[in-house]
Amino acid sequence: MSADTPRRIVLLRHAKADWPQVADHDRPLAERGRKEAPAAGLKLAETGIAFDLALCSTAVRTRETWKLAVHEMPHRPRTSYEERLYDASLGELIALLNETSDEVENLLVIGHNPGMHALADALSGSAEGDAAVRMSRTGFPTAAFAVVSFTGSWKTVEHGVGTLLDFWTPEDH
């Protein structure tokens, strides 16, 4: 892969979680989340993006979201469960992206808010169509995802480097 390789990052927020009396990291999906996650997986499949790698937070709700979503996709990418995605700051998220191998063209990140929204905002120097308007209007609800493209090495990922190509929420379903 050369430095001018077009790449895509898809940022998926976990589906709706329940609030039982457990540690935040251990919260499972709610009934609504168990419906949202496969819908997000179907929509991810419809994008036609073949993911080379999925980085998934180790939290129960993100792992459950990914397990339900990936069943709807035609190709299961290599998956890495990443503790640093849980409760990560914007700077920590960008640092994680910077560590990605340049063999990876298309990356899926399954994480949490406010990080997923902040990262989509930060990376998107421009946007296609009404994606940015829809993202700012709805926030970044559970099971929503943003598709951001950029050209270059993962080591060059920083604020404003990408274009927001699409934004989807379960309400669009």
Does residue 1 lie within any of the structural domains? no
pLDDT value at position 4? Answer: 80
Q: Per residue in 32-53, is it b (16+ CB within 10 Å) or e — as a string?
A: ebbbbbbbbbebbeebebebbb
Q: What are phi and psi of 71, to 5 degrees?
A: -65, -20
Give the domain CATH number at 117. Answer: 3.40.50.1240
What's the pLDDT at 13? 98
* 127: exposed, middle or buried (Cβ count in 10 Å: 0-12, 13-18, 19+): buried
Total tally of structural domains belonging to the chain: 1
- Residue 97: name the closest of 111, 112, 89, 107 by CA: 107
Residue 110 lies in a domain: yes
Cα–Cα distance for residue pair 77/55, rounded to 1 Å: 10
Q: Is 61 annotated as a binding residue?
A: yes
Asked whether residue 120 is assigned to any structural domain, the reply reads yes
Return the C-alpha torsion angle 170, 124, 95, 103, nearest 10: 80
Report yes or no on 20 lying in a domain.
yes
Q: Which domain holds residue 138?
A: 6-172
Note the pTM of the prediction, 2 decimals. 0.96
Report how far residue 77's alpha carbon sits from residue 54's, in angstroms, rounded to the nearest whole number.
6
Looking at residue 16, its pLDDT comes to 98
Which residues make beta-bridge pairs with 164? 127, 148
In this prediction, residue 2 carries a pLDDT of 58
> Tens of pLDDT along the chain (173 residues)?
556 889 999 999 999 999 999 999 999 999 999 999 999 999 999 999 999 999 999 999 999 999 999 999 999 999 999 999 999 999 999 999 999 999 999 999 999 999 999 999 999 999 999 999 999 999 999 999 999 999 999 999 999 999 999 999 999 86
